Structure 1
Amino acid sequence: MSANTSNLYDTDYGLWLASQIDSLKSHQWDDLDIDNLIEELEGLNRSNEHALESYLVVILTHLLKWEYQPEARSRSWQGSILNGRKRIARLFKQQPSLKPRVAELVPEAYTDATEIATLETGLPADVFPTECSYSADQILDFRFLPGDEELPY
């Protein structure tokens, strides 16, 4: 690898990326910036996990609001739940190995969701259970809503 390739990573990411792609396509292994490639690949994996957790927070927030503030239920909440579930389904299509991470990410996502739901509803924090009462399957189920209702899709 040349010093210019490594410097490109810090000075022109797009050009660095193009050069790495060209090197890979042409099997020029000595031109690869291995350390930075590893860092980028690890970052890509982390960003997908962060996206998954973010969608879980949104879904859980709206499920909590749906369950504990029934008088304010709205199609907007349903839309947010559906959008989060669709985004997660797309993530799983691209990276099925993320599926087992849901159960691991739910506790922290739930903590964030209860804080947001408390803020958005004005309800006291102790209204919400300290641990998530929804299973991973329920959280991802396109039809699930707490209570007797189901989403119409």
Structure 2
Amino acid sequence: MQSIQFGEANHRPDYDTDYDAWLARQIHSLQHARWHEIDVPHLVEELEGLNKSNERELESYLIVLLAHLLKWEYQPDKRNGSWEASINNSRNRIAKLFKQQKSLEKRVAEFIPEAYQEAKEWASKETKLRIDLFAEPCPYSVEQLQDKNWLPE
């Protein structure tokens, strides 16, 4: 993002018409403790949206991870490098997300039940196995999901 100079003569960038300038102004105001210049309602909206976006991203990676772990476990004769690569990629992306937003790591267990239901549907469609054959609830612990060396047998 480019550096933008703000002075008293400059207009205040509008959230709806110039988002990049508005965001730069908010950052500048925060960095310089100019609390009266902060557009609180829109800034709150942005922060809430960012949090929801990160939650959706985590859930998406969990679904992929869980689906491939189910396929790995329930179809051992069809295991392949693509599944293993997908498992590793999902774990790497989840770890990166946790570095960016540490609070998500503490809450990951909250996202597993719903992600697991979607993963079972996905795995069922891809494997042609009945969905009720997959364990309930999720048989994998948070630790196992994050362990880059663990695969179900």
TM-score by length of 1: 0.85
* Cα distance between partner residues in 1 of 2:99 and 2:29: 28
* Cα distance between partner residues in 2 of 1:116 and 1:54: 12
Tell me what 2:149 maps to: 143
* Cα distance between partner residues in 2 of 1:60 and 1:105: 12
Offset of residue 23 of structure 1 = 2.3
Larger helix proportion of the pair? 1
- Summarize deviations over 1:53-105 as a string: whole Å, max 9, x none: 11111110000000111221110110111011111111222222222211111
Q: Please report the RMSD computed on the Cα atoms of aligned residues, expressed in angstroms.
A: 1.6
3-state SS in 1 of match to 2:129: coil
* Cα distance between partner residues in 1 of 2:73 and 2:102: 30
Unaligned runs of 5+ in 1: 148-153
Tell me what 1:8 maps to: 14
* Cα distance between partner residues in 1 of 2:121 and 2:136: 11
Aligned ranges 1:18-57 → 2 under 5 Å: 18-57=24-63
* Cα distance between partner residues in 1 of 2:123 and 2:41: 42
Tell me what 1:150 maps to: none
* Cα distance between partner residues in 2 of 1:80 and 1:19: 40
Offset of residue 25 of structure 1 = 3.0
Tell me what 1:151 maps to: none
Say which is worse superposed, 93-102 or 109-118, in terms of deviation.
93-102
Tell me what 1:87 maps to: 93
Offset of residue 109 of structure 1 = 0.6
* Cα distance between partner residues in 1 of 2:29 and 2:103: 28
* Cα distance between partner residues in 1 of 2:23 and 2:70: 42
